[in-house]
Chain A
Amino acid sequence: MSYSVSLSKLLGSIGAKEGSKLSVESGGRTYKGTLMPHHDFSGDDIVILKMSSGYNIGIRVCDDSVIKVLEQPVRTDKKETAVEAKEGLPGITLISTGGTIASYVDYRTGAVHPALSASELVNAVPEIREMANISAKMLFSIFSENMNVEHWQKIAKAVEQEINGGADAVIIPHGTDTMGYTAAALSFMLGDVPKPVVLVGAQRSSDRPSSDASSNLTAAVRFCVKGNAAGVFVVMHDTPGDDSFAVHLGTRVRKMHTSRRDAFRSINAPPFARMDKEGNIKTAAAGRQITSDSAVARTDMERSTILLQYYPGMDPCLFEDMVMRSKGIVISGSGLGHVSEDMVPLIRKACDNGSVVVATSQCLGGRTNLNIYNTGRDMLSAGAVTVLDMLPETAYVKLMWALANSASADEAKKMMATPVAGEMSDRRTHDV
């Protein structure tokens, strides 16, 4: 229960465990309550008791403290009831990966954990069982900041398997921090996936009455059932209210706020669709048709790929080793895609060495163009390529995928310049 060594020893010696009812006599006062787990930031000599009023308090234990166990806890096992499939409803597989959407306060550990099982997640929103037959699987249970390339590959393989096994759609509950990256990775790996594959997250954990997990999950199911579009999407709130949802293309979406429910935004394109609280869907443009084809996951990725953010004063010496060891380098440049002239020789050296250098813009909004200014033209001469209005993170993921799925740097460059999953466009209108 993560109490300090000495406290754990003391508690253990009298048989006290989480949930035990204790009396703690300390500093001339006596408290009675249930032993709760230690918080990471609690004092080392503090025991936490839940009082009969429901309040937790921390009590300092010193040498003359007397702790007694009054009662031991009774464990009750949770019952899981099997759900029967309803005829006529589409079948959706929910592949849980963790994150806030599947998090809850573990009252035995006192912290938010990415540990809600996939079926618990579904059972928390019973109304989605009326819309589809949902089978829930837990692939892993991690916060998305710990998600890496192998996780993307495992998810893509799992999606391929579920679709080829007959699922009409796949929903992937995911942590929000890197959900945009995963969405882009799945978009490239799954290519012309024949069914909807929807990533969904939450900005407030499921243990809170105000959690956006249930409404986002409901919106994701509705889009799978009624959206009539194949591809990889992200479904989240469109505003801070629980009455509007946005469906984003997996390659266009970016987390643009640390905490708001509507943190996810499509950049350089309108959201693929919007949905109101009744589930009415408005699509911006026709999507790819759902078919009965098989799914194919091309999951190879070139790991020696880096994403660099250019900043004023960036010293090429600091980056030379890293750049020269990488097969792919995506630079999130300033303005139209620039780096300083000091950095241009390093770009040339990398390209001469057979690496691919892709210039994107840290402006995020708008298209890159290296033909306008001298530095840009120098970058092009040095061998850098641009990818229209592709997001830096999407370009990074795509470059990993392109390098691994091409025979040469030139072929990879060609792949980078060719839209695969709606990730780039040469036309933007004033309203996005």
Chain B
Amino acid sequence: MSERKLVCGIEIHQQLDTKKLFCSCESGLRDEGYGAYYRRLRPTNSEMGEVDRAALAQFQREIDYRYQCCEGCTCLVELDEEPPHPVNEDAMNTVLTFSKMLGASIVDEVQFMRKIVVDGSNTSGFQRTSLIATDGSLEVNGKNIGILSVCLEEDAARKIESDGNETMYRLDRLGIPLIEVATAPDMETPEEVMEVALRLGTLLRATKKVKRGIGTIREDLNISIPGGSRVEIKGVQELRMLPDFIRNEMDRQRMLLDIKDILNGRGTRPAEFEPIDVTEVFSECGSKVIRGALENKGKVIAARLPGFAGVMNGGGGNLRLGSEMAQYARTKGVKGIFHSDELPNYGIGNEFVDSLRSYLCLSEHEAFVICADREKKATDALRVAVERANIALECVPEETRDPLPDGTTKYSRPLPGAARMYPETDVPPMIITADRIRTIEENMPEFPEEIEKRLVSRYSINTQQAGQIVRQSRDELFVKISEASGMPAIAAAVLTNTYTELEHEGLNMGSVDDGHVLRMFDLLKAGRFSKEALPSLLREMAKGSDADGAIRALGIEAVDSDEASRVIAAIVKEREDFVKSKGQDAIGPLMGPVMGALRGKIDGKQANEILAREIKKLTG
């Protein structure tokens, strides 16, 4: 077997539609928050007596945090002002059910842990999490994909704004139960990763206890290529972007391996970090960045990088170590760095590059990197930039990276080690009894395939429609409509084709209330409008109307000809003098007000006939 080009596993985080994991708050998001409690978080020693490297990196950024409360979905528990309550039973049952669906082994006793996270997204400074089951599996396209673990944990607070020194979080999301499911690194192509993610999503939704909509499910990717290292891309929200992130990360790791070969081929040695104050070289420089920094009591600091020329930005844009260095530097709070491969540019002319080289005693092609900011910040930033450059001689570093909207990623922090977990002593361990497992097994939800079969046989819809309805978790709604209206064919067409078309128009069909849709079908059954009006009605309902409101707004309720005659007679009567003077010539001018009153309810021809009749009645 040839070596795999990609080793990839995914972790899916799915919000559950229950109350919060450790308190009785609603688990919803709010548009507004109030209050702004100030907090700081300090990294603590782990049980192995070490401070976690990721936690320490975060604390050194010296960021303060503020926390907003929200109506109905935050209490003292989210504020870390009250210990957690016992774990939510609904959420626990859901994760046990899901574990069983994957054939995973459930632990005998669940122990909640504190996973240290000091980026401020948890008021406590840790996320509460527990391992529920291990060793499951999943079949996708005939291949077995291993499931390493299923965990139950709490979601983090939402970042609302950040200005470099202070970050504001809203607490509504904190504490929403999450199922975290991690696959083995069994996927070998970007497309396969996507298939597995889709399948896991469908199984999660089959529990009927998960939240829907953007942000309620998030993917983390663990990616490595031969010779590369494990890199974690955290928090991808859009499923369709997964293959892009994977391809781009594979390219990035290949690029770093090329750079390693080039550097080792040259015999480049690790650069010693020696920060040098070169402010005087740039005193006359017109670069906006440098001028801004100098006006703000900053300095320009430089460091030599012998042997690194051409890989920071070279190979026709294919070698980009400089951008990796810059991402590390930015974690120290600077806007960026300049390296010799990209100069002259950015308002730094050749004369400055030359005089800097001579100031640093560098020959013409030797590399350097500079940073303009407060002295300490700039020095710290350059230190990590040079460290990053030196790592390029050795390997692809293990990192956590953040997804960007264009399918690429940026460095976020080192991969956290196992040291960041310790027991959550405020939550007692929970024995999973045989009785409980039995009850779970007796109440297993239908698998998606089973639901599909049932829909096909009972409602005579085709398998394609049934598949789509189930994948989009609209099967319960479909059954309700079909049972109430006796129109499964129309219901199926609406829930598949019409919904898809409207979603392509950019409407959020998930926001349409099931009750409103049911009411719409009731009205259809009662003959209040024709089925051709369904798409327009749903379009209106997606904007917030209920079924009756949509019908009124569109004015499409059918009227019988007696009702139409009454409306038209009234219009004629109001204009009696005009009608008497014009006779049948009044039809033209009166069609406007008539259609204004009856548009969509009767057609124009019928209106014209009734109007003629009513005018005749009045004029004799």
Residues of chain A whose beta carbon lies under 8 Å from any beta carbon of chain B = 27, 29, 36, 39, 41-43, 46, 48, 50-60, 76, 78, 104-105, 107-108, 110-112, 124, 203-204, 206-211, 214-215, 239-243, 258-261, 277
Q: Which residue of B lies closest to A78 (CB)?
A: B49
Could you tell me if A55 and B130 are in contact, using CB atoms closer than 8 angstroms?
A: yes
Q: Contact at A239–B37, with CB atoms within 8 Å?
A: yes
Residues of the A chain whose Cβ atoms lie less than 8 Å from the Cβ of B115: 54
Stretch at the interface among B77-85, B257-265, B354-362, B574-582: B77-85
Q: Which residues from B are CB-within-8-Å of A242?
A: 38-40
Most buried by B among A52, A58, A260: A58
Q: Is the CB of A46 within 8 A of B108?
A: yes
- Bound form: Cα–Cα A277–B38 in Å: 10
Measured between beta carbons, the chain B residues less than 8 angstroms from A104 are 44
Q: Residue A208 contacts which of B40, B49, B124, B130 (CB distance < 8 angstroms)? A: B124
Residues of A with C-beta under 8 A to B42: 124, 209, 211, 214
0/1 string, B103-124, CB within 8 A of A gives 1: 0010111110111101000011
B467 to chain A, nearest CB (A): 35
Interface string of B401-439 (1 = CB under 8 A from A): 000000000000000001111110100110100000000
Q: A53-B421, A55-B129, A208-B126 are in contact. List 20 more A-B contacts (CB 8 A).
A: A27-B108, A39-B423, A42-B429, A43-B108, A53-B131, A55-B151, A56-B111, A56-B421, A108-B47, A208-B125, A209-B44, A209-B118, A209-B124, A242-B38, A242-B40, A259-B76, A259-B81, A259-B82, A259-B83, A260-B82
A146 to B421, CA, bound (A): 31
- Residues of the A chain whose Cβ atoms lie less than 8 Å from the Cβ of B114: 208
Question: 12 A-B pairs, CB-CB below 8 angstroms?
Answer: A39-B423, A42-B429, A53-B131, A54-B113, A58-B107, A58-B111, A59-B109, A112-B425, A209-B42, A210-B41, A241-B39, A242-B38
* A258 to B81 alpha-carbon distance, docked (Å): 9
B43 at the interface (CB under 8 A from A): yes
**Residue numbers in B under 8 Å from A203 (CB-CB):** 81
Q: How far, in Å, is B336 (CB) from chain A's closest CB?
A: 30
Beyond A29-B105, A57-B131, whether A210 also contacts B39 by CB under 8 A is yes
Q: Does B26 contact A (CB under 8 A)?
A: no
Tell me the count of chain B residues lying within 8 A, CB to CB, of chain A. 51
A241, B37: Cβ atoms under 8 Å?
yes
Nearest-neighbour CB distance to chain A for B268, whole angstroms, equals: 35
Report the minimum CB–CB distance from A48 to chain B (whole Å).
6
Q: Is the interface of A mostly helix, strand, loop or mixed?
A: loop
Binding site for A on B (CB under 8 A): 37-49, 55, 76, 79-83, 105, 107-111, 113-116, 118, 123-126, 129-131, 135, 149, 151, 418-423, 425, 428-429, 431
A54 touches B109 (CB 8 A): no
Asked whether B109 lies within 8 Å of A210 as measured between CB atoms, the reply is: no
Whether B125 and A209, one on each chain, are in contact in the complex, defined by CB atoms closer than 8 angstroms, is: yes
Task: State the Cβ distance, A318 to closest chain B Cβ, in Å.
Answer: 35
B108→A54 contact, CB < 8 A: no
CB distance from B373 to the nearest CB of A (A): 24
Q: Given A210-B124, A259-B83, do A111 and B425 touch, yes or no (CB 8 Å)?
A: yes
B429 A41 Cβ-Cβ under 8 A: yes
Cβ-defined partner of A42 (8 Å) among B109, B113, B149: B109
- Check A55–B131 contact: CB distance below 8 A: yes
Question: Within 8 Å CB of B43, what residues of A?
Answer: 209
A241 and B111 contacting across the interface, CB-CB below 8 Å = no
List residues of chain A with CB within 8 A of the CB of B129: 55
* B110 / chain A contacts, CB cutoff of 8 Å: 57-58
Q: With A and B bound together, what is the CA distance between A241 and B114 in angstroms?
A: 22
Q: Quick one: which of A36, A42, A54, A208 contacts B44, CB cutoff 8 A?
A: A208
Query: Is the beta-carbon distance between B109 and A60 smaller than 8 angstroms?
Result: yes
Minimum CB–CB distance for A370 against chain B, Å: 38
Instruction: Answer whether A57 and B39 are a contact pair too, CB < 8 Å, given A41-B428, A209-B125, A259-B82.
Output: no
A240 with B124, Cβ < 8 A, contacts A53-B418, A206-B44, A209-B44 known:
no
Closest to A26 in B: B108
Q: In the assembled complex, how far is the CB of residue A21 from the closest CB belonging to chain B, in whole angstroms? A: 13
Q: Say yes or no: B109 contacts A43, CB within 8 Å.
A: yes
Asked whether, in the complex, the Cβ of B423 is within 8 Å of the Cβ of A59, the reply is: no
Top-6 shortest CB links A-B: A209-B125, A58-B109, A107-B47, A54-B421, A55-B131, A54-B418
A57 and B49 contacting across the interface, CB-CB below 8 Å: no
For A209, the closest partner residue in chain B by CB is B125
Taken together as a complex, chains A and B put the C-alpha atoms of A155 and B373 apart, in Å, by: 51
Indicate whether A105 sits within 8 Å of B429 (C-beta atoms), given known contacts A43-B109, A58-B110, A241-B39: no
* Nearest CB on A from B574, distance (A): 67
Which of chain A's residues have a CB closer than 8 A to the CB of B123?
Answer: 210
Chain B residues whose CB sits within 8 angstroms of the CB of A207 once the complex forms: 44-45, 422
Q: Which residues of B contact A204 (CB under 8 A)?
A: 80, 124
Roughly how many angstroms separate A76 CA and B46 CA in the complex, as a whole number? 14
In the complex formed, the residue of A with least CB distance to B124 is: A210
